[in-house]
Amino acid sequence: MTRPTISDVARAAGVSKGAVSYALNGRPGVSEATRRRILAAADALGFHADRAARALAGAPAKTVGLTLYRPARTLGVEPFFMELISGLEAELSLRSYALLLHMVADREQETAVYRRWGHDHAVDGVLVCDVLDDDPRLPVLRELGLPAVVIGPFPAGGRVSSVWSDDAVSLQEAVEYLVALGHRRIGRVAGIPDLAHTRIRCAAFANLARKLRLECAPTEYTDYTGPDGARATRLLLGAADPPTALVYDNDIMAVAGLAVAQEMGLTVPGDLSVVAWDDSPVCRIVHPALTALTRDIAAYGRQAAQLLLASLDGREATGVSVEAAHLTPRASTAGPANARPPA
């Protein structure tokens, strides 16, 4: 009743262990006929190579690693990551790869985990999220020789594959839409300032503000949580000449901002237009439903997994840009109630 080993298969097929290994791994060294006989025997016995043994012998562990950086006080994880993981898993499962997940509370832990993985035969490669400009993890991964794919903007150093879309295009779509509705004062509730994609969005926003001659274009940074989004909203709306539209860097904060506006007695979209970046179910569920920058997050995950798997197969790819997020207009945006005519 114990599990069949490669020796059992070899005996059943009347060949040596080595031949079985070659046959199973699709290597040259066995004739087509014996290969078929071996595969049939393996199948009949329900043989699956032991991962630990494979890994120890230097073969791929068929496992990829993902660390998630969550400061201790942040409970749970954003919808973004859940969808991302769904997408990753969908692709990895197809190829019989496992996902090793590790949450860390600080950045040093994260590189420590990479080092352990790299030395441990634990994972064949890693997926890297929440990239910083000049991210300290990337040199560590290179030093370890651990294949990696970045889920985020293509990192400055180059040399590592990445999957991301053009956030500048998406932001432009949202802001031009708001301007077309008559908004001239547009605020942004941004995420964590260190993150590379936050920087990209900020630069794009500054450009747009200049190009479109916005009256004001304030940005407030947050840690992506609902409460912090609420705080930022209060701050922006409390200004002397407050924005008439707010673009949020995630859905959770947009929902929080919506509630804040309503508490302050503002109607949405009458007094304030709200746009969410990322379109999780909650955007459709609140009232009014939120205009959102919609993208297929699970697709990022699938693409990232494909890219990593490709590089594990020795097929290098340097970067893939996926479809940018596009605007899905809903009930939370409209022209400002007392819009002044364009100057």
User: Which partner from the list DNA, its own copies, none does 338 bind, CB cut-off 5 to 8 Å by kind?
Assistant: none
Encoding tokens for residue 7?
């020796």
Phi-psi region of 294 (alpha: psi -120 to 50; beta: other; left: phi over 0): beta
Of residues 279-308, those binding its own copies (CB under 8 A): 280-282, 284-287, 289, 298
Kindly tell me which of 66 and 171 has the beta carbon lying closer to its own copies: 66
Total of residues contacting its own copies (CB under 8 A) = 55
Residue 92 · residue 99 · CB < 8 Å: yes
Q: For DNA, which residue of 22, 81, 97, 277 counts as binding (CB under 7 A)?
A: 22
User: Which partner from the list its own copies, DNA, none does 318 bind, CB cut-off 5 to 8 Å by kind?
Assistant: none
Strand partners, 65: 100, 126
Query: x/- site string to its own copies, residues 86 to 125, per CB under 8 A?
Result: x--xx--x----xxxxxxx-----------x--xxxx---
Residue 247 has a CB neighbour count (10 Å cut-off) of 27
* Cα–Cα distance measured from residue 306 to residue 94, given in angstroms and rounded to the nearest whole number: 10
Encoding tokens for residue 117?
């993985």
The least CB distance from residue 131 to DNA, in Å, is 31
* Cα–Cα distance measured from residue 233 to residue 84, given in angstroms and rounded to the nearest whole number: 27
Kindly tell me which of 37 and 231 has the beta carbon lying closer to its own copies: 231
If one asks whether residue 211 binds its own copies (CB under 8 A), the answer comes out as no
Strand partners, 63: 98
If one asks whether residue 75 binds its own copies (CB under 8 A), the answer comes out as yes
| Best CA proximity match to 188, nearest among 223, 153, 216, 167 | 216
Query: x/- site string to DNA, residues 39 to 58, per CB under 7 A?
Result: --------xxxx--xx-xxx
Residues in the chain: 343
* Cα–Cα distance measured from residue 299 to residue 341, given in angstroms and rounded to the nearest whole number: 42
If one asks whether residue 314 binds DNA (CB under 7 A), the answer comes out as no
Residue 295 · residue 236 · CB < 8 Å: no
The least CB distance from residue 214 to its own copies, in Å, is 28
Residue 9 · residue 20 · CB < 8 Å: yes
* Cα–Cα distance measured from residue 261 to residue 58, given in angstroms and rounded to the nearest whole number: 58
User: Which partner from the list its own copies, DNA, none does 104 bind, CB cut-off 5 to 8 Å by kind?
Assistant: its own copies
Q: Which residues bind DNA (CB under 7 A)?
A: 2, 5-7, 14-22, 24-25, 27-32, 34, 47-50, 53-54, 56-59
Q: Which residues bind its own copies (CB under 8 A)?
A: 3, 48, 50-53, 55-56, 61, 63, 70, 75-77, 79, 81-83, 85-86, 89-90, 93, 98-104, 116, 119-122, 225-227, 230, 252, 255-256, 258-259, 262-263, 280-282, 284-287, 289, 298
